Amino acid sequence: MRQNLALAKWRAGQQTIGAWLSLANTHSAELLAHAGFDWLCIDLQHGLLDYQDLLHMLPAISTTDVTPIVRVAGNEPSQIMKVLDAGAMGVIVPLVNNRAEAAAAVAACMYPPLGGRSFGPARAALYGGRGYAAEANDQIACIVMIETREGIDNLEEIVSTPGLGGVYIGPSDLALSLGLPPLGDTDDPLHLETVARILAACKRQGVPVGIHTGGLAYTRIRVEAGFDFVTLGSDAGFMMRAAAADLAAARA
C-alpha cells in the first residue's frame, strides 16, 4: 500500500509543514500540492467546500506525494468513513472532549478487529494501491482536535487513547474556551501555557502533535517549540497576503 509519508515522518521524529485548503478550487489545491508541503488538509468543517469538491481536490493532490488529510465537520462515523473511502490518508476530527469521543473517532478510521470502519474503499483502494485492505489501519492517521474546556480537562485521557494518530490544536477555539478573543496567533500567557500543556502531554505519550498558525512568524515559533506538524497558512490567506503586498507596493 502507498505509505502515508507525513505519518512516517512523525513516527520517525521528523517535523512537517502543511497547509489548509478552504476554497473549493481544484487548481489551487494542485498548485499547493506542487509547492512542496508535506501534507495538505481539505477543510470540510469551516472551508467553503463540500464533499463533491473533495472528490475533485483529492485527485488533484494525488499528482504529488503530498499526504492528503481531511478535516470533517464533526465526529460522525459516516462522515469519517466517506472521506477515507474517497482517498484521504488522514482525518482531523474537531471538538473532541473526552476519551470516549476520541476512541469513537479512532474506531471509525479502523477496519475490524481494531475498529468499526465499513469496507468499501471506492477510490481509496485505487489511490492507496495493492494491500490497502490489509495495511490501511497502519497508514491512516486519526487526528483529534483538543480545543474545548472539557477537552483540556480530559487532556491526559484523550492523548492516551489507543490507536490515536495525532492531536491537533485549534488555537482560536482554544482561546474562546479560555475566555479569550478567538485569536490563534497570540502571546496571551494563559493561552501559551495551555498550548504548552497539550504539547507536553502528547510528547509524554509519544503522540504526534500539530497546531494551526496564521503565517510564517508563528509557524517558526511552533516548530521551535517542537510541534510535529504545523500549518503554515491557508490557500485564501496566501492569496490575500500576496495580493495585498503587491498591490500596496504598486500603489506606492
pLDDT, position 22: 98
C-alpha cell at 51: 464533499
* 86, 123 Cβ separation under 8 angstroms: yes
93-118: pLDDT as tens digits? 999 999 999 999 999 999 999 999 99
- At residue 153, the pLDDT reads 98
User: What's 114's DSSP letter?
Assistant: T
pLDDT tens readout for residues 219-241:
999 999 999 999 999 999 999 99
Q: What is the pLDDT of residue 188?
A: 97
Return d(Cα 233, Cα 252) in angstroms, integer: 27
The model's pLDDT over 2-45, given as tens digits with 9 standing for 90+, comes to 999 999 999 999 999 999 999 999 999 999 999 999 999 999 99
Residues belonging to the active site: 46
- Mean pLDDT for 41-68 is 98
Collect all residues with Cβ–Cβ distance below 8 Å to 140 and sequence separation of at least 6.
4, 84, 88, 89, 90, 91, 109, 110, 165
Give me the residues paired with residue 85 across strands. Answer: none
Of 99, 101, 102, 72, nearest to 84 (Cα)? 72
Question: For 176, how many CA atoms within 13 A lie in the half-sphere containing its CB?
Answer: 9
**pLDDT for residue 216:** 96
Task: Give the span between the Cα atoms of 69 and 208, in whole angstroms.
Answer: 15
In the chain, the domains with their CATH numbers are 5-251 (3.20.20.60)
- DSSP conformation letters of 12-74: TT--EEEEEE-B--HHHHHHHHTTT-SEEEEESSSSB--HHHHHHHHHHHTTSSPEEEEE-SS
Query: What pLDDT is stored for residue 141 in this prediction?
Result: 98
Identify the bridge partners of residue 144 per DSSP, sorted by sequence position. 93, 167
3-state secondary structure of 153: helix
The one-character DSSP state at 1 is -
Contact partners, residue 148, CB within 8 Å, separation at least 6:
95, 97, 173, 174, 177
Contacts of 143 (CB under 8 A, 6+ apart): 69, 90, 91, 92, 93, 164, 165, 166, 167, 168, 208, 210
pLDDT single digits (tens) 66-91:
999 999 999 999 999 999 999 999 99
List for the chain the helix, strand, coil content (%; round to 5).
50, 15, 35
What confidence score (pLDDT) does residue 159 get? 98
Mean pLDDT score of the chain: 97
Nearest to 42 by CA among 176, 140, 194, 53: 53
